[in-house]
Amino acid sequence: MVRIEAAGHALEGQIEWQNAAGASIGGQTFPSRSGDCGELTLAMGFALALQIQLLASTVPEPAKAPPPPPARSTPPAASTAPPAPAPAARTETVVESRPPPPPAPPGPAFWGGAGASAGFGLASDPTALPRLFATAAWPHAALELAFEMTVPSTTQRAGGGGFSHEELMASLAACWVRAAWNACAVGKIGELRVRGESVDVPLSAVGLMVQTGARLAYSQALGQRSIIAARVEGLARVTEGTVTLDRTPVWTTPRFAALLGIDVAVRFR
């Protein structure tokens, strides 16, 4: 019960709490010294709301009703309708994301390898040339240093006697790279070694040999760090030499030469 009464020249409010039977269970008095009814009403309303909230928190929760007993299952009625089709199986596609490959290290890539060539015009007969090389490669350029030599070969003259000869060369190639193709300018320098055979006085001679030309090569990867390449070279001799036996010229180095070769290389960086 809430009431506000005049108490002389002032106002006084009272709140009385009663139980369900109407008996008083407590109360509170709110004197107003200023005589302001609105201020007194706000104070009593706040106290009333707070008391209601406290009383509500002390009321025990009602007990939950027990769950109903399970219904008795009855056998399904016979039906002539066909069974419903089973739902289609769902498939999920999982896309595995992989981290991007690490960036290539700055600077050139270094390759080393070996190869073999068939040479035409380097000796009196076609000859084989094994070689070793090292290459520094950029995305569109490459620089190669190589060492090669011809297999010793023997040339016999019709009247008897003959000579054996071999070539040892160092080469430098500057290449333009386009995908798997290489186009190179090639320079070679070395020596031609000749020795007489089946003659009265066999002598040895060494001559300077300089060649220049061009190369075209095509490479194919064998793995992440190895390649195989086929190449063809055309060469022109800058220096010429003549072999003589018993003061008679028997062979002159050809002006032009050609090579067909295969190389295998491994990347070190």
CATH number of the domain residue 117 falls in: 2.40.160.20
DSSP annotation of 100 reads: P
Residues 228 and 131 occupy one common structural domain: yes
Residues 132 and 11 occupy one common structural domain: no
As for how many domains the chain has, the answer is 2
The pLDDT assigned to 3 comes to 74
* Cβ 30 vs Cβ 50: under 8 Å: no
Average pLDDT, consecutive stretches of 10 residues, N- to C-terminus, the chain (269 residues): 70 73 73 71 78 69 63 54 58 57 72 95 88 96 96 77 85 95 96 77 76 96 93 93 74 90 94
CA–CA dist 231, 216 (Å, integer): 6
The pLDDT assigned to 262 comes to 97
190 assigned to some structural domain = yes
Residues 36 and 137 occupy one common structural domain: no
Residues 138 and 50 occupy one common structural domain: no
138 assigned to some structural domain = yes
Contacts of 252 (CB under 8 A, 6+ apart): 240, 241, 242, 243
Residues 51 and 125 occupy one common structural domain: no
Residues 151 and 210 occupy one common structural domain: yes
78 assigned to some structural domain = no
Q: Would strands 141-149 and 109-120 be described as parallel, antiparallel, or unpaired?
A: unpaired
The pLDDT assigned to 195 comes to 83
Q: What are phi and psi of 41, to 5 degrees?
A: -65, -45
Of 23, 38, 58, the one marking the end of a domain is: 58
Q: What is the largest CA-CA distance in the chain?
A: 162
Query: Which residue range forms the structural domain that includes residue 23?
Result: 2-58
pTM > 0.75: no
The pLDDT assigned to 26 comes to 73
The pLDDT assigned to 131 comes to 97
The pLDDT assigned to 23 comes to 75
Residues 15 and 122 occupy one common structural domain: no
93 assigned to some structural domain = no
